[in-house]
Amino acid sequence: MKAALLLLAFSAIAVASEVNIGSVDIVNGTLVTMDIGATPYGGINGSIRLRLGSSEWYPDSVWLMPADTSISDFNYTGRTYRLPTNMNMTNNCISSIYESESGYAFKATVKEQGKFCILADGGSYRIVAEY
């Protein structure tokens, strides 16, 4: 029983990220050459600090979402976008993907000193701070 629990714990830790980067048709007797470079998403990174008079604070998270929507409109899809750990961008740059009838929204946790990195599908979004 303990071995099964340990195996389950390690399998949850060892999950790798994947990125769908296109498709290819393979025909017998041929060799296809491809140069794959860009990811199917982009992103922003920076820092955020909210101020009111002499008070300052960092929000808990930052969202990118379509205009005329609010956080409560979206449901978590269970999927994320992330950068490889070797890029070392603001604690690995992980964004949670949310959806609604109006499209997708993307959420990232704000780290130390208000630093954030958020990945999203191409498009125009409004930036929303959640605290």
DSSP letter at 131 equals -
34-43, 47-56, 90-99, 106-115: segment of lowest average pLDDT: 34-43
Residue 90 CB burial class (10 angstroms; 0-12, 13-18, ≥19): buried
Mean pLDDT of the chain, nearest integer: 82
6-37 residue pLDDT tens: 444 433 334 455 666 667 787 888 877 777 77
Looking at residue 15, its pLDDT comes to 45
pTM beyond 0.85: no
Q: Locate the domains of the chain by residue range.
A: 42-131
* Ramachandran category for residue 21: left, alpha or beta (phi over 0 → left; psi -120 to 50 → alpha): alpha
- In degrees and rounded to multiples of 5, residue 96 shows phi and psi of -85, 140
Looking at residue 13, its pLDDT comes to 39
